């Protein structure tokens, strides 16, 4: 038995207790001074008693607004909700802005890009709905998932659309970007409304996710409406909309986090 093998048992020192340890582990701990010290430290009861005054302060805080609440919907339903917002707002604005871009596009470009956009929206919706519940199970952190969502989009653009450096993309870019950004604003509002039903702990991450998903609405509308199918234009301008959305969302989220009221002593906001 080595100290390293004992480490596995130290993880559960506080919940399993001495009695549940295998004999070999117990023998090692009794002989090894550092393992013994570590075990005693981790297994020892260590909680802080509440003073009656603090207990009554907390009770008052809770009892003031104790009303029945309905548990939050499942992650699946919330994901569906975000996807509905994404689909509906996209459909409305595609109807308004027209299909001139889609008409001029090949089947491969059209369906390929739309599939990747759909997958990205699903991933974004799923990540956001997961962020609404504190203490949920996570395979990947939200920032990594958002990155995972953007990489295939840029790859798809670079593969599906031609790179034409002879044409100046700048004159139409600002108008295109502004349009895409404006299309994404109503989606952002609805996404935030749904997001507020949960308890997003990291407002920066929540804001970035909301901005990203709303920005994807702008990309879809531009995909259908914009006639410039140059990879450089699509990558920089169209995909710039969700990137800008994520950056603005993260900035707003972090700003709001800094403005969160603090319940100081005696429950007074400071």
Partner 1 sequence: MPPGSASSAPAEKDADRLQELMLSYQNADPNAANQLIEQLSPMLLRFLAVPMYTRAFAEDMLQDCWLRLHRARHTCRPGTPVLPWAFAIARHTRIDAYRRRRRIETRESALENISDTDGWASTPPVTPEIDLWRFVRQLPASQQEVILILKVSGMTLEEVARATGGTVGSVKQKAHRAYVKLRDLIGSRPKGSKK
Q: Which residues between 133 and 192 bind partner 1 (CB under 8 A)?
A: 133-141
CA distance 57 to 53: 6
- 32-40, 113-121, 145-153, 182-190 -> range binding partner 1 (CB under 8 A): 32-40
Find the binder of partner 1 among 32, 80, 102, 114 (CB under 8 A): 32
Min CB(187)–partner 1 separation in Å: 23
Measured from the CB atom, the residue of 21 and 125 that comes closer to partner 1 is 21
C-alpha distances out from residue 77 to 128, 132, 186, Å: 12, 12, 21
Footprint (CB under 8 A) of partner 1, residues 85-144: 132-141
Nearest to 209 by CA among 178, 177, 253: 253
Residues in the chain: 270
Find the binder of partner 1 among 12, 167, 175, 196 (CB under 8 A): 12
CA distance 260 to 262: 6
| Position 47 contacts partner 1 (CB under 8 A) | yes
Find the binder of partner 1 among 198, 206, 211, 240 (CB under 8 A): 198
Helices 75-97 and 107-131, interaxial angle, to 10°? 140
Site string for partner 1, 64-83 (x = CB under 8 A): -xxxxxxxx-x---------
Nearest to 131 by CA among 224, 73, 209: 209
Min CB(119)–partner 1 separation in Å: 23
């Amino acid at each position: 038995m080595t100290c390293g093998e004992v480490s596995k048992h130290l993880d559960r020192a506080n919940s399993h207790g001495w009695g549940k340890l295998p004999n070999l582990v117990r023998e090692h701990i009794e002989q090894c001074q550092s393992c013994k010290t570590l075990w005693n430290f981790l297994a020892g009861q260590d909680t802080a008693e509440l003073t009656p005054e603090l207990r009554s302060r907390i009770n008052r805080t809770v009892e003031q607004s104790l009303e029945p609440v309905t548990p939050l919907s499942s992650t699946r339903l919330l994901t569906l909700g975000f996807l509905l917002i994404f689909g509906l707002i996209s459909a409305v604005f595609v109807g308004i802005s027209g299909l001139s871009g889609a008409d001029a596009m090949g089947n491969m470009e059209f369906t390929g890009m739309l599939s990747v956009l759909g997958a990205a929206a699903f991933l974004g919706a799923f990540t956001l709905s997961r962020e609404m519940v504190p203490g949920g199970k996570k395979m990947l952190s939200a920032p990594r998932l958002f990155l995972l969502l953007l990489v295939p989009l840029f790859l798809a653009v670079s593969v599906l659309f031609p790179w034409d450096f002879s044409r100046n993309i700048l004159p139409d870019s600002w108008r295109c970007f502004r349009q895409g950004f404006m299309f994404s604003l109503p989606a952002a509002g609805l996404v935030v409304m749904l997001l507020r039903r949960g308890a997003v702990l990291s407002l920066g991450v929540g804001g970035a996710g909301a901005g990203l998903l709303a920005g994807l609405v702008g990309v879809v509308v531009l995909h259908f409406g914009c006639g410039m199918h140059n990879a450089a234009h699509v990558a920089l301008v169209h995909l710039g909309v969700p990137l800008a959305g994520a950056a603005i969302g993260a900035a707003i989220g972090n700003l709001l986090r800094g403005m969160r009221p603090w319940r100081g002593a005696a429950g007074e906001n400071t």
